[in-house]
Chains A and B, each alone.
Chain A
């Protein structure tokens, strides 16, 4: 879904046992629910992507 919206460079961190030892642990175990960190970027503007190189470049 992130890429459908237009995000790029999506990264996902390792799973974290967020619910371990909490009262919701049973449901979490049943469906293998873990916490994750996500990182994504909104692409730079088209104008920036198409910037004309300097003569020295």
Chain B
């Protein structure tokens, strides 16, 4: 059952799309969050894996944590990356699952998809694919995934219950959801919660 969003879903989605369109095209601009290789080090990603990736795979990374820190992916696993952006976490996942596994990145921002697909083609990874879609309507069949990953995306979705329901749908029985996201220790005033601008900035 979906929850009742406290902000307009479409308005929030448009603002998120605008923000991350900019991160895709201008990764070196100043944002309210960290990006790129310095952020991967801050979040504890394995340097040996990150160093192998080209700049275009890492420069637009804007995650908030490390979805691989509580559980390592295993060779052969099928992975869905919800809100894959320019593909950084998908490429890290591809390294772990190997060519016996498969990674599907899903993103709603065309500029991010263009970038991730071009990088994937340059890397020649036949076991990675990027699809256009929403976190609330994943373009993945029921029970396909061994693992769903996500990084800093669910907090930007107005209807989180719908997102988790959808992730539950695409996971196999026994499958793992491993994601990183932000949480606040102090209650955010209701007025601020209704301010869409504060969700993305």
Q: Do A and B bind each other?
A: yes
A residues in contact (CB < 8 Å) with B: 1-2, 4-7, 11, 13, 16, 18-19, 21-24, 27, 30-45, 48
B residues in contact (CB < 8 Å) with A: 30-34, 42-44, 63-67, 69-71, 152, 160-161, 164-165, 168, 171-186, 188, 198, 201
Q: Return the chain B residue nearest A21 by Cβ.
A: B34
> A36 — which chain B residues lie within 8 A by C-beta?
65, 180-183
Give Cα A39–Cα B178 distance, bound, in whole angstroms. 4
Give the tally of cross-chain contacts (CB within 8 A). Answer: 118
A33 touches B184 (CB 8 A): yes
Q: Return the chain A residue nearest B154 by Cβ.
A: A38
B70 touches A37 (CB 8 A): yes
Give Cα A38–Cα B42 distance, bound, in whole angstroms. 18
With both chains docked as a complex, state the minimum distance between the C-beta of A16 and any C-beta of chain B, in angstroms: 5
> B65 — which chain A residues lie within 8 A by C-beta?
13, 16, 18, 35-37
Contact pick for B177, options A4, A33, A42, A48, CB 8 Å: A42
A41 touches B185 (CB 8 A): no
Contact pick for A13, options B70, B172, B186, CB 8 Å: B70
B168 touches A5 (CB 8 A): yes
Give Cα A32–Cα B180 distance, bound, in whole angstroms. 16
Q: Return the chain B residue nearest A23 by Cβ.
A: B32
B67 touches A19 (CB 8 A): no
B186 touches A41 (CB 8 A): no
Give Cα A35–Cα B184 distance, bound, in whole angstroms. 9
A32 touches B31 (CB 8 A): no
> A41 — which chain B residues lie within 8 A by C-beta?
174-177
